[in-house]
Structure 1
């Protein structure tokens, strides 16, 4: 077919090509306009103190802002947060998940939390409750983790200290490491004293010093083998003490983040506004009308195909009819009249 043929078909089927998209667009427009009026509001969350800074903070590094926005967006639809917001506002969980949306403002750590609903009175409460519980979900959990770490480290310090106390009771000696050093110092002092007495010819004093040195050496020999075990217990306690100090620092940093994430300081809720239907109509009608044009073209093609098949069948039947010989009329019978000729 040539272009002229296509134009001829389009002109003949113009009512289909125009009618189907128009009806589809009108139906879509009616559905949008007859739907309940929707309302929307926006909460702004700006907490620069929560992003970057010390390495102990939850969100650090060059991707800290993006990580914070992504984590907040996930927290908004987390089951725990949704349940809390639903309990506070009376809005269903499904409506909350469908109506809430989080967007980042540029490349900053500031974000916008938007909620859309058909109930105007629930927009602001939902935004306030969601911002509060999402921030609490993100940062209060760090405090809980810090509390558990401090509790665990404290238990390890207590256990290590109890092990040292039990060892001292069993071996009947307190702080053997310090005692060993004191005995070494005393032995060295007696050896110097023994040499001084021997130098001045005080044999009795030198002998007394030698006896004292021998007694000290026995104590050193008895105490020395026990020191490694005791020193291992001391090292274990020191390690537990260092872990406890680190856990307390982490807990302190987590509590500081919770204070910095106070919703009253970092979140603000804007006014509730009516959602314009114009944008919704455009977003709905344009694709529906496009789909209507496609359906109309397919329908025209189908109608033309059916019409062409009918014409082909009719054209095929016409020659067959022409080839059939016409029926020859039967000759009319003439009545034979027997004329009796009489003599004229």
Structure 2
């Protein structure tokens, strides 16, 4: 079809070329104005205090990736979804469908967005879900730490009780000190016996032997108790070290959980809306252009069909002529 033919066809079908784009544009404007606006709220987790610190559970060269992936998984955890749905008054399906989590560049900061036709609810859901996801990440660690401290405390109490029971059984408060004291007593008695013997006091020296025998028996009894005593002391020392270590770990984990719940850890931005004059203009221009193209194609198709019919009619007339 030459340009002149196309222009002629355009004149014949001008109402089609005018009405299709105009009506489509009117429909686009009406849709943009009448349809409810969608609001997108954004909550950003500012995480430097949670990643790479000396006692953080997210440390080492992969700490950033670990934190981001763990947060992403936490936002989709059924427990987090259900809790957020109850607190924010939305359905679990809405949370699953309208939430997006993205990493901010190469940093450990993470942005969570939620879209809703209710502006206030969009903001509430974004903040609540981010907060619940962080809480979920650290609550399990806190529970484990508390359980480990309780277990270590029980072990220490058992070690102390075992030691005390043994001391009560042998009737000595400090076997090591008592053993050393008994040794010293034997030495003193032996020295006294030797002095009597040197002075020719044979009877006194002989009498001292019974005291020495009693003291040596005492040394023997106390010496027999030392291995068990030292083993119980060692067990208590190990239990004490373990308890103190678990306390240190728990303090660190609780500090991380506290940091994750700090007010400034989640930052919110201005809520974006898909309704604006510029958005409506862009949509109208796009629809107008697309509908104009469709109208042109319709005109071309109509003219092509008309040309085929005219050609068929001429062929029929030629065939019918004698």
TM over 0.5: yes
- Cα separation, partners in 2 of 1:78 and 1:215, compared to 1, 3 Å: same
- Cα separation, partners in 2 of 1:146 and 1:204, compared to 1, 3 Å: farther
Aligned residue for 2:49?
49
Please list, as runs of the form range in 1=range in 2, the aligned pairs for 1:1-344 lying within 5 A after superposition.
37-54=37-54, 56-195=55-194, 198-199=197-198, 206-207=205-206, 210-275=209-274
Aligned residue for 1:331?
none
1:192 CA drift (Å)? 4.4
- 1:77-98, CA deviations, whole angstroms, 9 ceiling, x for partnerless residues? 1111111111111111111122
Task: Find the residue that maps to 2:100 and give its secondary structure.
Answer: strand
Task: Find the residue that maps to 2:60 and give its secondary structure.
Answer: coil
1:198 CA drift (Å)? 4.7
1:53 CA drift (Å)? 2.3
- Cα separation, partners in 2 of 1:201 and 1:135, compared to 1, 3 Å: farther
- 1:172-230, CA deviations, whole angstroms, 9 ceiling, x for partnerless residues? 33332332232223333444454455556565665565443322110122232232223
- Cα separation, partners in 2 of 1:96 and 1:222, compared to 1, 3 Å: same
Question: Any conservation in 2 of the 1:135–1:263 contact (CA below 8 Å)?
Answer: no
Task: Find the residue that maps to 2:90 and give its secondary structure.
Answer: coil
Cα RMSD of the aligned pairs, angstroms, is 3.0
CA distance in 2, matches of 1:208, 1:261: 79
- Cα separation, partners in 2 of 1:107 and 1:202, compared to 1, 3 Å: farther
- How many residue pairs get matched? 253
- 1:306-326, CA deviations, whole angstroms, 9 ceiling, x for partnerless residues? xxxxxxxxxxxxxxxxxxxxx
- 1:236-287, CA deviations, whole angstroms, 9 ceiling, x for partnerless residues? 2211111110111011111211222124121111121123797xx99xx9xx
Look at both structures and tell me which one has the larger radius of gyration over its CA atoms: 1
- Cα separation, partners in 2 of 1:210 and 1:266, compared to 1, 3 Å: same
- Cα separation, partners in 2 of 1:271 and 1:213, compared to 1, 3 Å: same
The TM-score, its normalising length taken from structure 1, stands at: 0.65
Task: Find the residue that maps to 1:48 and give its secondary structure.
Answer: coil
- Cα separation, partners in 2 of 1:134 and 1:197, compared to 1, 3 Å: farther
Question: Any conservation in 2 of the 1:66–1:107 contact (CA below 8 Å)?
Answer: no
For structure 2, the residue ranges without an aligned partner over 5 or more in a row are 1-23, 291-322
Question: Any conservation in 2 of the 1:45–1:110 contact (CA below 8 Å)?
Answer: yes
